[in-house]
């Protein structure tokens, strides 16, 4: 009977050790699963943050491009207006010179006509 009792105690100790190892393995597996889930959640949060940053940068770039186009259009309009004003001033000056030349030519022609009529 002594032999059976020792065998029973040994078998119980082995079973207890195996159960303890199995429980520890289960706890380790549960912890690993929890860590994996947390890592996946963190990766998802990081991806969402990156996507949000990219969206903000894209919006900023689009706004900057729009502002640049607007500034270029304003400069072009200003340059066109300045060129039109310059052309108008030059046209007015040329018209005044033409009018002065026409008046002088008319005066000269009148004087020649008067001189020619006095001689006759």
Q: How far apart are CA 9 and CA 15, in angstroms?
A: 10
Q: How far apart are CA 47 and CA 114, in angstroms?
A: 99
Burial 42-56 (b: 16+ CB within 10 A, else e): eeeeeeeeeeeeeee
Q: What pLDDT was estimated at residue 73?
A: 94
Q: How far apart are CA 71 and CA 43, in angstroms?
A: 42
User: Is the pLDDT reported for residue 56 higher than 60?
Assistant: yes
Q: What pLDDT was estimated at residue 2?
A: 44
User: How do residues 94-118 score in pLDDT, each as one tens digit?
Assistant: 999 999 888 888 888 888 888 888 7
Q: What is the pTM of this model?
A: 0.46
């Amino acid at each position: 009977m002594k032999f059976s009792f020792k065998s029973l105690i040994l078998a119980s100790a082995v079973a207890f050790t195996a159960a303890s190892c199995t429980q520890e393995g289960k706890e380790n597996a549960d912890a690993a699963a929890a860590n994996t889930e947390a890592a996946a959640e963190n990766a998802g949060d990081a991806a969402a943050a990156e996507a949000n940053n990219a969206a903000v940068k894209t919006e900023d770039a689009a706004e900057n491009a729009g502002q640049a186009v607007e500034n270029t259009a304003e400069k072009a309009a200003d340059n066109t207006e300045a060129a039109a004003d310059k052309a108008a001033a030059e046209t007015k000056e040329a018209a005044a010179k033409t009018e002065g030349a026409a008046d002088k030519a008319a005066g000269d022609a009148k004087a020649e006509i008067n001189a020619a009529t006095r001689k006759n």
